[in-house]
Every structure is written in C-alpha cells, then in structure tokens.
Structure 1
Amino acid sequence: MGGAEALGRRPLLKAGLAALLTSTSTAPASARQRAEPYLLGRGIGDVTGQAAENGMMGYARIGQRTTGIHQRQRARAFVVAEHDRPDRRVAVVVVDAGMVFGCVREAVLKRLAERLGNRYTHRNLLLTATHTHAAPGGFSCHTLYNVTTVGFQPGTFEALVTGITAAIERADANLAPGRLGLARGELSGASVNRSRAAFERNPAEEKRHFPEAVDPSTVLLTFERDGRPVGAINWFPTHATSLSPDNTLISGDNKGYAAYHWEREVSGVDYRGAEPGFVAAFAQSNAADMSPNLELRPGTGPTDDEFANTRIIGGRQYAAAARLVNSARPVSGGIDHRVSRVDMSGVTVAPEFTGDGRQRTTCAAALGASFAAGAEDGPGPSFFDEGAGNNPFFGTISEALYRASPELRERQAPKEILLPVGALGWVPRVLPIQLVRIGELHLVALPQEVSIVGGLRLRRTVAERLGTTPENVVVVGYSNDYAGYLTTPEEYDQQAYEGGHTMFGRWSLPAYQQEFARIASDLAAGAESAAGPSAELNPEGGRVRLQPGVVVDAPPPGKEFGDVLEQPGESYGRGERVRVVFASAHPNNNRRGGDTFLLVQRRTPAGWSTVADDGDWSTEYHWARKGVAASTAAIHWTVPSRAASGEYRIVHRGDAKEPGGRIRRFSGTSASFRVG
C-alpha cells in the first residue's frame, strides 16, 4: 500500500504519463509478439532492515542508529531475455541500500540456485545499490563496514537477502513478450560537484566535457508490454544524501522517493498487492563527486529542510526521466554479459592505460587521513582535513613508510596513510567486474564510487573496444560488492575525501580501465572471459555480532501493548500533521517485510479502507525506548493535499517478545478524527 498524495507539479506531464500507463494496444497479439524481441519481467521486494537501534550505513557515525521508518526500502528487479533464446538473459536489480556487499550477493545467488537452478549466476545477475545513507548497515562480511554499526546485524542482512531474492523470483515469474526503449537527456539542479579542486586537476579536454563540473546525463531504459509501459530504469549520478547525518529514520532518500513517486503517486502501485503494475528504479552511475546538497552543506539546497530537499531532488530526477518516455527509441540486439574477478591489491597496469607511458602497479588497500575528514555531505572529526599535506601527524608517518618502501610511494603517495585496511583484512581485495549488454546499451558494473571524469574514461575505454559510442555505455557504480572510491590519478593527487578513500592507490582507475578493456574485447569477439582469482568466500572477520538482540518487551505500568497513550485531535486540515502514540514493543522482533507497522484508514460505506502505511511519504513511524523493556511508537501522518474529507483513524501493529522468548502479535487503534 502507499499514499495517494502527488507532487502537485507538472500536471500535464503526469496526466499524459498516466494515460500512457493505462493505455492498451489494438494490434493483434500475434503481430505484437512478432514485433517484440524480448521477454521482460519486473518485480519488487521489501528489503527494509531493522527499524530500531541498528547503526546506519554511509556517514560512519556511531551514534546514528535507526529509530523508525519514513519510507520502506525496496529492491526492484528487471529480467530481460531474448524472445527466441530465453536462456540469454540478465537480471538487473536496484536496491535501496547503502551498498551491495559481496556476501549479500553470494547469499542471494545461493537461494536463487536452490529455487531456480542455474538460471541466474555471477555472470548474468547485476546487483546495484542506490547508495542511500538513510538505511541500516551491518550487513557486510568485512570488518571495516561493520565498525560503526556495532558489528554484524543478522536481521538487516536477512532482510536484504530475502527481499532481493523475492524481487528476482517475481520478475522471473513475470516474464512476457515486450519491447525495450532507450532515451537520453540532461538534468540540472539535482547535483553539484563537491570536490571541485580535484576535478580541476583533470586535463582541459575532459573538463570541457562537463562545463558545469557535473555530469547531467540521465539515461532511461523503458519496458513496454501490450503497448503500454510497465517499468523503467533510470541512471543519473547524484549521491543519495539529501537526508543528513542527523536523520535516524529509514528512507530510500532522493532516489527512493523518485521511484516511489512514479510507482505509487503517479501509477497507483499497491506495494502490498500481488501485481506490481509499474516498477521504476532510479539507479546510480558515476556519482563519487556528485552531491544533491546544492549548498554543499549537509541537508541544504535547494532549501534548508532535508526532507523537503529529498522530495525536491527526487522529484527532479523523476520529472527528467518521465520526459524521456515518449522519446525512447526501440532497443534492438542481443543480450550478453561478461564477468571476471580482479585482485585489486596487485594489478600490473600496462603503459597503454597509465597515461604516463610507464607500467604501474596497484597495492594493498589503505585509507588516507582525508578519508577520515569526510565529505561535504557528512564531514568527519574537525581534527582531520581534506587535502594532501594537511594532516601533518599522518604525513610524517607516511613519509617514513615511503622512505622505507619506494614501491609504496609509487603506488600510494601523496596519500597520508591513516589505516592499512588491506593488510588487516578489513576490506575485500578480490572484486567483481561485470559488463552487461542489453541491445545497444552496455552497463559497466563495478563495486566502486567513480568520479565523473573517471566514469568518462571508463566509458571511452569500453566503447572503443566494443566499436560503439560512449553514449551507449553507462557506468553503474556500487555494484555486486563495495570497496570505496575511484578517482582519476590527477584527482587522487588532490587527496580530497574521494582520493583518500581510493584505497588501492593512484593507479586504481587505470587498472579498472585495463580490466574492463579485457572483458569488453572478449564480449566483442564472442570469447569467454577469464574468471580471475578465487573469490574471498565467507570471510568471518566481519560477522562478529557485538550488539545483543531483543531480550524482552514490557508495556508501561498499567498498560497493554497497543494501548493509545496519546490520542489524535478531533479534526485536521489538509497539510496538518496527525500524531498518535501507542504502547509498543521492539520492531526488530518482526521487521514486517512486505507488511507495515501502521495503517491510516478512512471510513467508507463498506468499512475502514487503508489509504497509507509506513511505506508512504505522508507517514512517519518513530520508535523510542522507555526505560529497560518498555517502548512507544509515535505515528505521524501529514494529511495530503488531496485527501478526501471524512472520518479517519490510525492503526499500529507490532510484535512483543515475552519472557521465555515467545513473540506475540498485537495491534492498537486510535480514536477517529475528521479531515476536511
């Protein structure tokens, strides 16, 4: 279920798009199938992690722990197969998460193998994250990424694996003949370069490609069946950091809102229904230096309200994508893919790719002091600064290391080394690279955050090997695993946050260019790609669980679970906020995947009808601990501008852990109130 409030902007665009989404083709079925070269499927899964006391992923703040839900996290899966050769297929899944770690991908593939055989493997499954910083973390199997989440969080890990698997299974079962469309456009006002000094170090020719120091490219792949759109994937580079480090409610951030708006507010999707109707995914591209915070401060731009900014930046991404629907050209051509593994701690890079005519080598991962300084979206401690030479203590240590090892200097300088995470085994070193062909569109999937100039170099490298244009190549960062940032060597020398987080050294981007050139050449020649070194299977160092689970729940003295502690007022106008507080229990007892912790209901002649739940923009679910075992759930509903007049109520659902460990469901219902 979801809310019915719309953005209220671009009414003609919405009306036209809504007509498109509900139109049907008059061509005979046999003629349509002959003209539709693909089998298309789409599905949505709920991947919402633990809604309370789970460290959040992205800003690396230990105190930023979940306290509820603004919008649920979703996994949106798309399967494309050749109509006459359905074994030639690919699944692309866009996940509302900070990252997709390798152990999550392995667990998803294992479950898919149990249920669907060898239909989906490392070769043809592309998992990519929106990189929202407003979601629970603790689902990596490498130590570094679980430090600020107080260890591994099995509940959140399971939510991701279960929801992603469900989305893929639904998309697979949903396969039917259809057409693909491809369109490109530009979007301004949704990103700004947060690392301008580093960008300016690049050659003039590359900078001219981005005259505003941003990548405005918005690319849309449309899915059409029976003459009507049923889905879309949009790629646009901007960080999902409209919500600041002060936020503790789960949200898909601006990209999650863009998808929600297109699906629910424009297309009327009911997330808890059986048929998705329309599925819209807003994926990342080369977003390393692209921020949605237009004033270059957390939670700012275009307003000083971080939730308004989330909606505005997400709305702009939706509007730019929706404008491209009618101009999408039919996609033709086959489905193909190549995948390989690369040990990024020791790649020998040929002079062809280094840019200085010399052979170079990557090295074991190390984080720089500039990494600890943080980025403009989420600054770190004040005693760390961005920039080479700005952290003298670590600079002195690094200089001693570089004198002892000229090889280390050649590979990591001028980084002021903060932490040798590679030597500690805290991050992955064997990483997947993947190239997916969907007709003339080629997706370069890698587990790094790539700068816009870095993305341009990768696109040009791959396009040259494939004999196509860079416009037909999209860099898809945050894919299949995660290992920090990827800057150009020139940007690396600035040692801004992004360079300090380019862990495998100055020659990391040339190494990726070389390895993608290799698998692109294989794809062009119809040859298999070398598998590469063995993957690091199930590293246990990151699975340490330091935070205990829920012990027991208890209602406040004299109350029962579900009792209303604070009733709503008698009446509300549109735009006003309704607040109801319930005696509750810990939400981690049951994450309610595919369900909800709250319902907003309106009385109708047939009974109470649900108009919103905890996946909607108009609602907020706030959980708070009261003492040792008691807790409350405060439910907020901002009455939408188009809400029908009438009688409403708020329902809370929860699950309490009793002494002895039994989980018991409960619910509570508020007094009714009037709207309008």
Structure 2
Amino acid sequence: MESTDALGRRPLLKAGLATLLGTASTPSASAESRDPYLLGRGIADVTGQAAENGMMGYARLGQRTSGIHQRQRARAFAIAERDAPDRRVALVVVDAGMIFGCVREAVLARLSERLGDRYTQSNLLLTATHTHAGPGGFSCHTLYNVTTLGFQPGTFESLVAGITDSVVRAEDDLAPGRLRLARAALTDASVNRSRRAFERNPVADKRHFPGAIDPTTTLLCLERSGRTVGVVNWFATHATSLSPDNTLISGDNKGYAAYHWEREVSGVDYREPSPGFVAAFAQSNSADMSPNLELRPGTGPTDDEFANTRIIGQRQYAAAAELVHAARPVHGRIDHRASTVDMSATRVDGSFTGDGREHTTCAATLGASFAAGAEDGPGPSFFEEGAGNNPFFGTISRALYRASPELRSRQAPKEILLPVGPMGWVPHVLPIQLVRVGELYLAALPQEVSIVGGLRLRRTVARRLGTDPDNVLVAGYANDYAGYLTTPEEYDQQDYEGGHTMFGRWSLPAYQQEFARLASDMAAGEPSAPGPSPEDNPRGGRVRLQPGVVLDAPPAGRNFGDVLREPRRQYRAGESVRVAFVSAHPNNNPRRGDSFLLVQRRSASGWRTVADDGDWSTTYRWERSGIASSTATITWRIPEGTPGGLYRIVHRGDAKQAFGGTVSFSGTSRQFRVGPASDQSPDPLRRQDSTASIRYRW
C-alpha cells in the first residue's frame, strides 16, 4: 500500500523543482525551430473588496468579507500556432465564484483597446474555479446580487482589470514552445454529494464512474527551451472546502493548489512582473462533486476547514505534479467555435432527448429543493431536497401544471419556488464555446454540470469530431453563469442540483444538440452560426443598495497605522505572531497587485519582504471599532524552516477623508526575533519604537 504523509499527499518524485522543471538541458537551435506553438503565460491579482462585501457562492446574506487569507488571481495562457499565429486562443482560469456575462463583455472591450481584434468571444475562454470564499456583486443580473446588497463596483472593477492584465501579460510573454498532455486518476479529493440522483442514471453511464466520482485529472503542460513554464490542470471538485462560516477571501482548495505549486514549490514572487511559472487548477463537470469528504460543511478529511483547504489542494497538486514527466507531446491545430443559445426556448431534436421525441426547454425557474441547498452547504431547514418534499410549493406547482400541460412537460416534477426567468433575474441567451488545442477539446458552457451530464456532452462532441471522449473535457463555469445542469434522470430526483437546473428537464439534451452543431462545424472547417443576440438578456442587476465608504477616522489620540497590539519579542517556527493596527476601510483601495500587509526580515542590505497577504501563512482581518474607525489584525503563522533573525510586520492602507480624498498610511510593529528560545543574542528591540507614516493620494 502506498504511504501518505499527514496531508494525505502521495510520494512525489524527489525534489519538487526537478518535477516542475523537467530536464534542465537547453535544446539546440534546430530543435527550437521545431517548436510548433507560441506559448505565453500571465498572472494578475483580481482580489475584490475585502470588507463588508457579500460573498458569492453560499447565498448566505450575513456572509460578508472581513479580510484576506489569500489573494485571488487570474491565470492566463495564450496559445497560438507558430506558423499561423492568427490561430490562437487564450485560456483564463480565475479565482472567482463565477464568470458573469458582463465581466466577459468588459474584458473583451478592454482587450480590444489594448490588443485590437486579437481576441473575440470565440477564442477567449474565461473560466472560474468556483471558490465560495470570494466577494460577489459583480453580476448584471438580480438573482446573483441579492445576497450582496446589489452590485459592487469595486469588486467588478478588480475582476475585469485583473483578468485583462493577465491576458495582456500572456500575450507579451509569447515565445516558441511545445505542449504536453497527461491524464491520471485522483480518488481522494472528491465525493458525490447527490448520490440519489446519480443512481437514477442508466447502468451503462454509472459503470463509467464506479466510485460515483469523476477521478480524472488532466494536465496540459507548457514547455519552452526544455522546461515546463506553465500548467493547466482540470479536475472535478467544488472549491468549497471553506464553509459558509468563513468570511476571509481565499481561492479555496484550487487557489491553494496553484499557490503551492507557484510559490512554495517554484519560488514565484507575485510582486515581480514576470512570474517564471504559472499553474492553474480549473474546474470540469463538478456539479455533484464535493471536496467535503464527510458531506458536511468544512469537514473531511479533518474537522478544520482551513486544514482541509490545504489538504484537498495538496492532493490536486500532487496528482498533477506526478504527471509532468508522463505527459506526451501534443500535436495538431488550434481552433475555436462559439455561439449563443436561447435556453428558455430551444427545441431539442428527438435524437438527443433519449425518448425519441422533440422537446423544448423553458423559461428559468428555481425549485424549492434549490432553497434546501446541498449536503455540504444546506439552506433553511424548512426546505428539503427531493421531489414531493415541499408540500406548499408542490401544491402550487401541481395547479400550475394542470393549467399548463406545456409547462409540466418542460419543468415537472420541479416544485416551483421562483420564476426567475419571467422576472428577468437571470440571463437566458447563453454562450457556448468549443476550443481545440491539438488533440484536446474543451466544451465550455456557463453551467455546473454533473459528472454523467459531462460524460454525455463529451461523448456527443467526440462523435462529431471523430475522436475519443477522453480527448474532450467539459469546462464549466465558463463565460457566464446560469446555475446547474443535470441529466433528465437526475433532474427527476429534484435534489439541490435538479432544483437549480433552471431551464427544465431537457436542458442537457439542448446543450448536447448545440455542441453537436459546433463540433460538426469544426470538423468540417466551417464557421458556426452566431446564435441569438445576448443583448436580449435583461439587465437589471446593477442596482447598488449598499453605500460606499463615507469617512474613516482614527480613535481619539490615535493615528492611522498606530500599533494597538505589539508582537512578543521572541517566537519559534510554528507559532503565530499577531499584531493589531489602527486602520481604515480596505474598500477605499483593494491594493490590487499590492498588499495590506508585509512580513519583513532584516538582512545586511535592509528589510526584505518574505510574505504578504497573498501567502498561506498570513491572515489580514478587518473589523469596525467605531462608527468610522476600524482595526486591522495581522497574523503570521511562522512556517517550519523559517530562518532565524529579526522580523517585523508592516500594515498599509488608505483612509477616506471628510473632504473626499484618501490618505495612504502605513504602520510598523516593533521588531521580534524568530529562533530558539535559548538564543541570547543582543536584543535591539529595547530601543525600538513602533512607527506610523502618512502619504496623501488624491
């Protein structure tokens, strides 16, 4: 039996950097000339408002940001044919709950300003990791802004600017290279949270997933000059290791996996303009896949949600890292197709419906089981999952179905809770996209697809392209968002995922039909019909109900940046340093690409930053301490192996003034020593005072 360490990691090839970088040899000029692709990587900060911003994912009204555990990032990969550079795509993986259509439109508009017509809706693929630990309020549709008190322009701007920057940086980084691809199985990072619905599927489909999970982990490696310089991994598991009780911004398990490979293994400094290595951990068909292995919020494999975030992230990293040397060369074209589909009224041919008859999708409605939530993220106790378990809404729905047999044929047995489509609360004209990277095909759609639903989509696309279904991946959470997508059989169970399949029982067959169309066009080398205009979508979501910051003021007798709680004078590795500062509201300036905190070590040349608020070892917490005053508490959990020496904590922020401008400030703790308690070196702290400085920005 294979041994594991305390984090559940399988043994890796010796030395993480050797695994990452592959051979260190430099190919000859003739070998370099044979590199078939142009490859570029870019990474940028997309962290939104760190305080009092409703969070996106759990739909809990009281879950509002109160600081940062790790910053959110966008990771972009530009890939073009070297001999035909106009054949290019950009794959972007964003630490966010979803990608909404208005975000994508704004990114395309800004890319047009900076790169001309290089990227369009056809060759720019934006996907979200689906972290539930990020700020929300960046949709233009009402449903997704209800629990965030409306539209949050600060968070929207951070996402759009960061995604745009990541793509531009990837373009600037383009150079000749090769692609490699590998697959393996990862069986200890997910569990099926909707087993009753899964069991309704035909035996032939269930046989494909003997553990009721999709264990496939797929790695695409970007290689230049014989070195792996970037990777994209696809694996189906929700980014919900952090529970609804968490209020700190984080990329969750997929964000940690990327951070670990980039920063802890490869030594990437996010403050540098060129990171040297970029690792993205993307979603696939993960609707019914949970990382909470005990099927309770924040549980499995331990009862510590932050430990679980790290463990599940480590497991995804370890499985991906083991594939680097096993990856085989990728050959073939870069290609792409895109279209839109009106999911509220798509006629589906009988060849896709399973019963041989034509059916039609329906205007979006949410079922009562949607309000019940999933096993690892339950809703109010008076709602229950499953058809027939919500009598009040069941009675109403039966009356509606009697009055409209057409509605019954499209939405039954859903117990209708909210007709969000007729209310104009969600989009109904949705983007679909098919991207080819050599032998790999990505079927991108704006929904959360179950593993059997993903299997059917992959098989549909593969048949039209004449390839193996293993060469087709579902890229969920892509380009917009419209809830879940189950098989018709799973839909009939009406658990959470079925109740959130808004466009009715025939939604998956509709997508199969439309992706078959894109795949047929790609196989024939023909353009695809653009579909209906997304401008037909309602736009009522940019209502802002929460006022912005009015004023920041320090407590009487204090200045911004003053230290309220100093560190001890001596610490060991493994202990936590905690410092509190007089602060201001972080929404005045999200410090995108910067930090609210610095951990610094004294060296011969001065103070050197060793960690900031993007690191796993740090936590930045903000809280109000009065009507206009606030406190920032910074924690640094000293990692094992931290060099001994003198350290300090720096806090930086921006305060809003009564006359409308902002003032930048910083505060610095006294110095403290990291090392063994027996260290009797001279202590310079005796004469060291805390400092605060102020710099105005208008």
Q: Normalised by the size of structure 1, how large is the TM-score?
A: 0.98
Farther-moved stretch of structure 1 (32-41 vs 475-484): 32-41
1:452 Cα deviation from its structure 2 partner: 0.2
Q: Deviations over 1:518-575 (max 9, x none)?
A: 1100000001100000112784410000000000000111100000000011111111
CA distance in 1 between partners of 2:511 and 2:214 (Å)? 20
1:377 Cα deviation from its structure 2 partner: 2.1
Residues 462, 19 of structure 1: alpha-carbon distance in 2 compared, 3 angstrom cutoff: closer
1:177-326 aligned at under 5 Å gives the runs 177-326=176-325
Is the contact made by 1:338 and 1:435 (CA closer than 8 Å) also made in structure 2? yes
Residues 18, 669 of structure 1: alpha-carbon distance in 2 compared, 3 angstrom cutoff: farther
SS at match of 1:13: coil
Is the contact made by 2:12 and 2:318 (CA closer than 8 Å) also made in structure 1? no
1:23-102 aligned at under 5 Å gives the runs 23-29=23-29, 31-102=30-101
1:658 Cα deviation from its structure 2 partner: 0.8
Is the contact made by 2:360 and 2:506 (CA closer than 8 Å) also made in structure 1? yes
Is the contact made by 2:427 and 2:538 (CA closer than 8 Å) also made in structure 1? no
More RCO (CA 8 Å, sep 6+): 1
CA distance in 1 between partners of 2:492 and 2:633 (Å)? 49
Residues 12, 123 of structure 1: alpha-carbon distance in 2 compared, 3 angstrom cutoff: closer
Is the contact made by 2:428 and 2:537 (CA closer than 8 Å) also made in structure 1? no
CA distance in 2 between partners of 1:642 and 1:475 (Å)? 41
SS at match of 1:80: strand
Is 1:13 the counterpart of 2:33? The answer is no
Q: Residue in 1 aligned with 2:658?
A: 659
Is the contact made by 2:230 and 2:278 (CA closer than 8 Å) also made in structure 1? yes
Is the contact made by 2:553 and 2:584 (CA closer than 8 Å) also made in structure 1? yes
Is 1:145 the counterpart of 2:144? The answer is yes
Q: Residue in 2 aligned with 1:106?
A: 105
Is 1:527 the counterpart of 2:526? The answer is yes
Q: Residue in 2 aligned with 1:438?
A: 437
1:376 Cα deviation from its structure 2 partner: 1.4
CA distance in 2 between partners of 1:13 and 1:659 (Å)? 58
CA distance in 1 between partners of 2:58 and 2:412 (Å)? 26
Residues 7, 262 of structure 1: alpha-carbon distance in 2 compared, 3 angstrom cutoff: farther
Residues 556, 13 of structure 1: alpha-carbon distance in 2 compared, 3 angstrom cutoff: farther
Is the contact made by 2:22 and 2:324 (CA closer than 8 Å) also made in structure 1? no
Is the contact made by 1:14 and 1:266 (CA closer than 8 Å) also made in structure 2? no
Is the contact made by 2:19 and 2:322 (CA closer than 8 Å) also made in structure 1? no
Is the contact made by 1:23 and 1:227 (CA closer than 8 Å) also made in structure 2? yes
Q: Deviations over 1:305-360 (max 9, x none)?
A: 00000000000000000000001000000000000000000010001000011110
Farther-moved stretch of structure 1 (8-17 vs 363-372): 8-17
SS at match of 1:536: helix
CA distance in 2 between partners of 1:7 and 1:298 (Å)? 19
Q: Residue in 1 aligned with 2:468?
A: 469
SS at match of 1:327: coil
Q: Residue in 1 aligned with 2:133?
A: 134
CA distance in 1 between partners of 2:273 and 2:145 (Å)? 35
Residues 510, 8 of structure 1: alpha-carbon distance in 2 compared, 3 angstrom cutoff: closer
1:146 aligned partner, one-letter code: N
1:17 Cα deviation from its structure 2 partner: 3.7
CA distance in 2 between partners of 1:138 and 1:16 (Å)? 38
Q: Residue in 1 aligned with 2:422?
A: 423
Identity across matched positions, percent: 78
Residues 37, 665 of structure 1: alpha-carbon distance in 2 compared, 3 angstrom cutoff: same
SS at match of 1:527: coil
Q: Residue in 2 aligned with 1:3?
A: none
Farther-moved stretch of structure 1 (563-572 vs 15-24): 15-24
SS at match of 2:421: helix
Give ranges in structure 2 of 5+ residues lacking alignment: 1-5, 676-698
Is the contact made by 1:128 and 1:476 (CA closer than 8 Å) also made in structure 2? yes
Q: Residue in 1 aligned with 2:643?
A: 644
2:392 aligned partner, one-letter code: F
1:468 aligned partner, one-letter code: T
1:441 aligned partner, one-letter code: L
SS at match of 2:147: coil
Q: Deviations over 1:410-463 (max 9, x none)?
A: 000000000000000100000000000000000000000000000000000000
Q: How large is the Cα RMSD of the aligned pairs?
A: 1.3
Residues 128, 416 of structure 1: alpha-carbon distance in 2 compared, 3 angstrom cutoff: same
Is the contact made by 1:32 and 1:226 (CA closer than 8 Å) also made in structure 2? no
Is the contact made by 2:8 and 2:311 (CA closer than 8 Å) also made in structure 1? no
Is the contact made by 2:253 and 2:312 (CA closer than 8 Å) also made in structure 1? yes
Q: Residue in 1 aligned with 2:689?
A: none
Is the contact made by 2:40 and 2:172 (CA closer than 8 Å) also made in structure 1? yes
Is the contact made by 1:17 and 1:322 (CA closer than 8 Å) also made in structure 2? no
Q: Deviations over 1:146-193 (max 9, x none)?
A: 000000000000000000000000000100000000000000110000
SS at match of 1:94: strand
CA distance in 1 between partners of 2:668 and 2:27 (Å)? 50
CA distance in 2 between partners of 1:14 and 1:152 (Å)? 48
CA distance in 2 between partners of 1:538 and 1:391 (Å)? 31
Q: Residue in 1 aligned with 2:489?
A: 490
Q: Residue in 1 aligned with 2:516?
A: 517
2:609 aligned partner, one-letter code: T
Q: Deviations over 1:360-382 (max 9, x none)?
A: 00010000000000011210000
SS at match of 1:381: coil
Residues 561, 23 of structure 1: alpha-carbon distance in 2 compared, 3 angstrom cutoff: farther
Is the contact made by 1:412 and 1:505 (CA closer than 8 Å) also made in structure 2? yes
Residues 266, 569 of structure 1: alpha-carbon distance in 2 compared, 3 angstrom cutoff: same
Q: Residue in 1 aligned with 2:694?
A: none
Is the contact made by 2:413 and 2:492 (CA closer than 8 Å) also made in structure 1? yes
Is the contact made by 1:69 and 1:614 (CA closer than 8 Å) also made in structure 2? yes
Residues 356, 22 of structure 1: alpha-carbon distance in 2 compared, 3 angstrom cutoff: closer
Is the contact made by 2:20 and 2:324 (CA closer than 8 Å) also made in structure 1? no
Q: Residue in 2 aligned with 1:478?
A: 477
Is the contact made by 1:366 and 1:421 (CA closer than 8 Å) also made in structure 2? yes
CA distance in 1 between partners of 2:526 and 2:294 (Å)? 48
1:642 Cα deviation from its structure 2 partner: 1.3
1:28 aligned partner, one-letter code: S
Q: Normalised by the size of structure 2, how large is the TM-score?
A: 0.95
1:444-463 aligned at under 5 Å gives the runs 444-463=443-462
